[in-house]
Amino acid sequence: MTGTSKSTTLLPMLRPLLLAAAILLPSAAAQSQSTPTRPAITGIAFARFYTTDPAASQHFYGDTLGLTQTKLPDKLVYPVDHSQWIELVPTTAPPKANNRLVAVAFTTRDAAALEKYLTFHKVAIESPLKNGEFSVRDPEGNLVYFVQSGSDKLVAKAALATNAPSHRMIHVGFEVQDAAREDTFWRDILGFTPLWHGGFNDTVVKWSSVQVPEGSDWLEYMLGDGVTPTPRQAGTSNHVSLGTEHMNTVVAALAANHCEGPNCTAAKMGRDGKTQLNLYDPDQTRVEFMEFVPTEKPCCSPITGRTPTAEENK
């Protein structure tokens, strides 16, 4: 009697499974290859605001803050360093009477790849990639630009004034109504990570910060209450922060620049344990000076991220 091997007997039974595996494996590999990887987002590129009085704004940003102005046809550019800057858009009638914020921007090492990555994640592109930058809107409609590292040659070659109190932008902030909704974009898609949260007391969170994934700069959610803010309240929320190692050097530089008013010397301890000083431009936009390192224990939550320094991550 002739024997039959088990492998010969099982082969017909296995053929459908082997065929299915042969079909699925290339499909899975192709899917893996088509899923884009998020390129590095390393820090803040710029913050853009409206100005209703360019001459008064020049006195503030140019004379008081010591930043050198570059005029372009549609905006004024104030380089903070060779890769970060503040933009002002002249207008007599801002779209929102009480809001001067136009956009915030972050630096990436590969703008083209990031645009593809966001498109893959079904984020609508507001303005396609051109001259090294593109824009989208976050879940609450804030205009957000992403800038290719080193692409702004105007800023890269700008002559920086020696009398500026700071040459380092460390965070930007804007009003947010729903932090969880914003997190679906900033944290879930872009990879920003929690940094610190706090408020005027230890129980109610009013500020929540998320840090760029490959750097030390951060975005601060200024949590609103659904009520339309006054221009001063909106300007306090929609702000930019310049970093320093020691606040006394900022106070001294402001004095040398003939800063006017009590705020010029009003350094105070922030709830995050860092010394800060706040000035307001003619349109009520806040420019905050902040020490890099806390000197007291932060309230409300620990600071869990990377500490900024005078050198921006690239």
Cβ atoms 314, 86 nearer than 8 A? no
Which residue ranges make up each domain of the chain? 41-291
Q: What is the pLDDT of residue 15?
A: 56
Per-residue 3-state assignment (H helix, E strand, C coil) for 157-224: CCCCCCCCCCCCEEEEEEEECCHHHHHHHHCCCCCCEEEEEECCCCCCCCEEEEECCCCCCEEEEEEC
Per-residue confidence of the chain (314 residues) as pLDDT tens digits?
A: 444 444 445 445 545 554 545 544 544 444 445 889 999 999 999 999 999 999 999 999 999 999 999 999 999 999 999 999 999 999 999 998 889 999 999 999 999 999 999 999 999 999 999 999 999 999 999 999 999 999 999 999 999 989 999 999 999 999 999 999 999 999 999 999 999 999 999 999 999 999 999 999 999 999 999 999 999 999 999 999 999 999 999 999 999 999 999 999 999 999 999 999 999 999 999 999 999 999 999 999 999 999 999 998 88
The closest alpha carbon to 313, from 212, 220, 164, 229, belongs to: 212
Rounded to whole angstroms, the Cα distance separating 138 from 150 reads 24
- Cα R_g (the chain), whole angstroms: 25
Cβ atoms 281, 231 nearer than 8 A? no
pTM: 0.89
Q: What share of the chain is helix, strand, coil (3-state, %, to 5)?
A: 25, 30, 45
- 41-51 vs 85-90, strand pairing mode: parallel
Tokens for 234? 């909106």
Instruction: Kindly tell me the burial class for residue 98, based on how many C-beta atoms sit within 10 Å of its own C-beta (0-12, 13-18, 19 or more).
Output: middle
Give the chain's count of helices (H) and strands (E): 7, 16
The matching CATH number, chosen from 1.10.274.100, 3.90.1560.10, 2.40.128.110, 3.10.180.10, for 41-291 is 3.10.180.10
Handedness of CA 18, 22, 23, 27 (dihedral sign): positive
Q: What is the pLDDT of residue 34?
A: 81
Distances, alpha carbon 289 to alpha carbons 147, 236, 308, in Å? 24, 13, 13
